[in-house]
Amino acid sequence: MSEESSVKSNRKLVLPGDLMETKSKPGKGIFRSEGRIHSSVVGYSSDRSGYINVNAIAGRYSPKVGDKIIAVCAETGPSIWRMDIGASFNSTLHHSESGWKVPFGDTARFLAIGDAIWAEIFMVDAAGSHQISLKKDDCRKLYSGTIVKVNPTNVPRVIGKQGSMISLIRDNTKTRIQIGQNGYIWIDGEGENIALAQEAIETIDREATSEGLTKKIEKLLEK
Amino acid sequence: MAGQTDMELIKNGIRMDGRKPDELRDVKIVAGVLDNADGSCYLEWGNNKIYAGVFGPMECHPRHKQKADRAIVQARYTMAPFSVNDRKRPGLDRRSSEISYIVSQAFEKVVMVEEFPKASIRVDMQVVEAHAGTRCAAMTAASVALADAGIPMRDMIPACASGKVNDIVVLDLNKEEDNYGQADLPLAIIPSTGEVVLLQLDGHLTPDEFEQAMDLATSGCMDLYKKMRDALENSYGGKK
């Protein structure tokens, strides 16, 4: 915990438009104006290995190729599904990327509105639209369980160092939990255990910036 | 501006509410007050009370308003029926559609719209209590809400009015001064560059007075900008 707080004190909160005093190259959360570098979002700045980044505290999920995410079906077409992944736009899941042999117009039989999947983002184009795939690694449809939504910027907090936080919740509640990079979290298990795990995750999301979070969650799970 | 009154709006350099000509009313800003919006802000400015909520970026509806190369900002300014003395008939009217339009235009200047093609960023401003200067107050609240929503932008834009009352140029008109004063000049600027993104003028000012009013409103905006920054720093625990 002490290591974590020392890391935190080095971080600096910046607001949109703030001038960044640096010789590094601009990374994300940055814009250039008249040769100078400014922050474009509310977040913490980090100046590492020649690049300056601002990690936004708020904001929607921005899809990156290779991210494992949880998606919820929002719309069905004759050969595609439109999936909600918490980004600016719904993602497309083409039938050829589903791994199922889908007859034309029969998509809803495999994935109906409200059904969830564990999928991977395999294409993002310049116009901001993106496609996901069910054919990679352990991607699958999620049966039973429930989905909790957290701020995507808090996902590393929910996971913890080397997964410490999430294994704490898993072990104490005896639930199966899968965390999407988009901040959608799937929990499966006994009804009461799900509720407890959900409460723990929501607490982390709410108090992500506070210190001593692990202790607080331990206490909450003991009840 | 045409209203007539027996009230003495300024007496010995002190205004009706006890302010000096170059003083702002008290401003209180809280960021992140609403759970369901992506970003939000509550603002009290004198007796004005305003909520602002931001959604997006998201798919733009109606579709014909989409821009293939950038996002659009869809701002909506509404006044609650109980926000004014005479009950305001709810819904869009000429005044609120005008304000919604100019606020959208102003925010499209600062929000990095080119990062989100075909998207829309919705900014909703609800005036709960009105006491003159609501368009400036609503814009200020919306700026904070946009930052709170994590939307990339070049800067936040503070907005503040100045005007002329009893032949004296004053900052931040209150209700009486707005109704019976001689001029009202709402201004919004980009603090880092000094660019003007909103400027309106109701009433009469001489060129000299106009310069004076612009300087006064600009300094008001800069004061306000500090308060906006404090609000965000408080809400994200940057200040301890």
Region at B12 (left for phi over 0; alpha for psi -120 to 50; beta for the rest): left
CATH for A68-142? Answer: 2.40.50.140
Any CB–CB contact under 8 A between A39 and chain B?
no
Nearest to A58 among B118, B148, B153 (CB): B148
Q: Tell me the ipTM for this assembly.
A: 0.87
**Does the residue B240 lie in any domain?**
no
- Of the candidates B155, B237, B238, the beta carbon closest to that of A17 is on B155
Q: Is A51 near chain B, with CB under 8 Å?
A: no
pLDDT tens for A163-188 read 999 999 999 999 999 999 999 999 99
| In a domain? residue B46 | yes
How confident is the model at residue B6, as a pLDDT? 78
Most confident range (mean pLDDT) of A27-41, A205-219, B196-210 is B196-210
Structure tokens at B223: 């004061």
**pLDDT at residue A10 in the model:** 57
Q: Is residue B3 part of a domain?
A: no
Nearest CA to B177 out of B198, B203, B141, B196 is that of B203
Coil, strand or helix at A142: strand
> What is the rounded distance in angstroms from the CA atom of residue A70 to the CA atom of residue A80?
17
Cis omega (within 30 of 0) on the bond before B21?
Answer: no
φ, ψ (nearest 5 deg) of residue A91: -95, 155
Q: Is B61 on the interface with A (CB under 8 A)?
A: no
- Are A118 and A93 in contact by the 8 Å Cβ rule? The answer is no
Residue A118 has pLDDT above 70, yes or no: yes
Contact criterion met (CB < 8 Å) for B151 and A41:
yes
pLDDT, residue B1, reads 56
**How far apart are alpha carbons B164 and A49 in whole angstroms?**
55
Fold of A146-222: Ribosomal Protein S8; Chain: A, domain 1 (3.30.1370)
Question: Taking 60 as the threshold, does the pLDDT of residue A6 lie above it?
Answer: no
- Structurally, how many domains does chain B consist of? 1
pLDDT at B222: 96
- What is the predicted pLDDT for the residue at A11? 72
Chain A residues touching residue B148 (CB < 8 angstroms): 42, 58
The shortest C-alpha distance from A87 to chain B (Å) reads: 8
Q: Which residues of chain B have pLDDT under 50?
A: 239-240
Nearest CA in chain A to B56: A88
Which among B67, B53, B197 has a CA at the least distance from the CA of B120?
B67
User: Which CATH number do you get for residue B71?
Assistant: 3.30.230.70
CA distance A62 to chain B (A): 11
Q: Residue A28's closest chain B neighbor by CA? A: B152
- A3 pLDDT tier (thresholds 50, 70, 90): very low
**Chain B contact for A208 (CB, 8 A cutoff):** no
CB A65 within 8 A of CB A91: no
Task: Determine the angle formed by the axes of helices B207-235 and B134-148, rounding to 10 degrees.
Answer: 40
Interface test with B, best of A5, A88, A210, A211 (most B CBs within 10 A): A88
Indicate the pLDDT class of residue A2, thresholds 50, 70 and 90.
very low
Torsional sign, CA A139, A141, A145, A146: positive
Q: Do A17 and B151 touch (CB under 8 A)?
A: no
Residue A80 above 90 pLDDT?
yes
Give backbone dihedrals phi and psi of B8, rounded to 5 degrees, phi first: -90, 105
Which residues are bridge partners to B126 per DSSP? Answer: B51, B78
Question: Does any domain span residue B15?
Answer: yes
What digits encode the pLDDT tens for the residues B216-237?
A: 999 999 999 999 999 999 988 7
Interface of B with A in 113-132 (CB under 8 A): 116-119
Name which of B114, B192, B195 to mutate to probe chain A: the one with the most chain A Cβ atoms within 10 A of its Cβ: B192
Q: For chain A, give every domain's residue range.
A: 2-56, 68-142, 146-222
> Is the CB of residue B120 less than 8 Å from the CB of residue B21?
no
B38–A59 C-beta distance less than 8 A: yes
Question: Is 80 exceeded by the pLDDT of residue A99?
Answer: yes
pLDDT at position B44 is: 97
Q: What is residue B240's predicted lDDT score, i.e. its pLDDT?
A: 41
Question: What Rg do the C-alpha atoms of chain B give, in angstroms?
Answer: 18
Q: Is residue B45 part of a domain?
A: yes
Among residues 172-231 of chain B, which lie with CB inside 8 Å of chain A? 190-193, 229
Q: How far is B113 from A113, CA to CA, in rounded Å?
A: 31
Give one DSSP letter per residue of A192-213, joined into a string. Answer: HHHHHHHHHHHHHHHTTTSS-H
Would you say the CATH fold of A68-142 matches that of A2-56?
Answer: yes
CB contacts under 8 A, A 161-200 vs B, are none
Domain membership of residue B125 (yes or no) is yes
Give the model confidence (pLDDT) of A184-201 as tens digits: 999 999 999 999 999 999
- Architecture per CATH, A2-56: Beta Barrel (2.40)
In this predicted model, what pLDDT tens digit does every residue of A55-78 receive, in sequence order?
998 899 999 999 999 999 999 999
Asked if B192 and A128 come within 8 Å (Cβ–Cβ), the reply is no
Structure tokens that stand for B105 in this block: 């235009």
Instruction: Provide the pLDDT for residue B100.
Output: 97
